[in-house]
Amino acid sequence: MAIISRGFHGRRPPAGRKLPPGQYETTGFPVLSAGPTPWISTDKWELSVTTETGRRHSWDWAALTKLPSETPTVDLHCVTKWSKFGTRWQGVSLDVLLADVETAAEYVLVSSYGGYTTNLPLEDLLDGKAWIAYGYDGRPLAPEHGGPARLLVPHLYLWKSAKWVHGLELREKDIPGFWESAGYHNYGDPWQEQRYRGD
């Protein structure tokens, strides 16, 4: 029973493209984050995966970029309402990174350089659904977009795709991350419009 906005016509997305509810298309690439952009040199960069038993796996920049990479083209949906179609990335699938990790955990707490965190179910990182991305549109990923490397989980709202990714902690129990603690939805499916807790 939405009220009709007198005289509002709006702009429909181009035919054939589907926008999640409440979203609009942008052709720019907006930047959203809670604080200053951290600048991390690839010499010092490291990604770690820690299991629920405390076993730690880590990759430095050389090790990450030596792994087989993919070039997914995906749509992005930000909780602040913009969607961007057909973005082109380069990165390593989480299936590759987690292939030899032994775990019974069901959840992941992702942490970033700069202190940001976000949580998601482990299964949302597997089966070709997520990448550690270090290239965007044929170039190294810019710092304001999360470079040198960010998580990319395009089927969830973009705050789950943690920029400046640093660590993945595999956990038996789920705990909320930064925005989830601040009232955002714990899961964040754009198609269900899970923006805020209670949506």
Q: Which of 21, 144, 135, 130 is nearest to 87 (CA)?
A: 135
Rounded Cα distance between 188 and 185, Å, is 5
Assess 42 for contact with other proteins (CB under 8 A): no
> Structure tokens of 96?
């590759």
The correct pick among 42, 46, 70, 81 for binding other proteins (CB under 8 A) is: 81
Q: Residue 145 CB, nearest distance to other proteins (Å)? A: 10
Let me know the angle formed at the C-alpha of 174 by 48 and 51, rounded to the nearest 5 degrees: 30
Q: Binding other proteins by CB under 8 A: which of 14, 16, 28, 54?
A: 28
Q: Does 87 bind other proteins (CB under 8 A)?
A: no
Cβ–Cβ under 8 Å, residues 176 and 196 = no
By three-state DSSP, how is residue 87 classified? strand
Candidate segments 10-18, 62-70, 104-112, 119-127, binder of other proteins by CB under 8 A: 10-18
Number of H helices, E strands in the chain: 3, 11
The residue from 14, 16, 54, 198 that contacts other proteins (CB under 8 A) is 198
Is position 36 an interface residue for other proteins (rule: CB under 8 A)?
yes
Residue in 86, 115, 128, 140 binding other proteins, rule: CB under 8 A = 115
**Residue 46 and residue 60: Cα distance in Å, rounded?**
5
* Span near other proteins by CB under 8 A; candidates 78-86, 89-97, 103-111, 147-155: 78-86
> CA torsion sign, 158 to 13 to 19 to 7?
positive
Sites of contact with other proteins (CB under 8 A): 2-12, 21-24, 26, 28-38, 80-82, 114-115, 144, 178-179, 182-183, 195-199
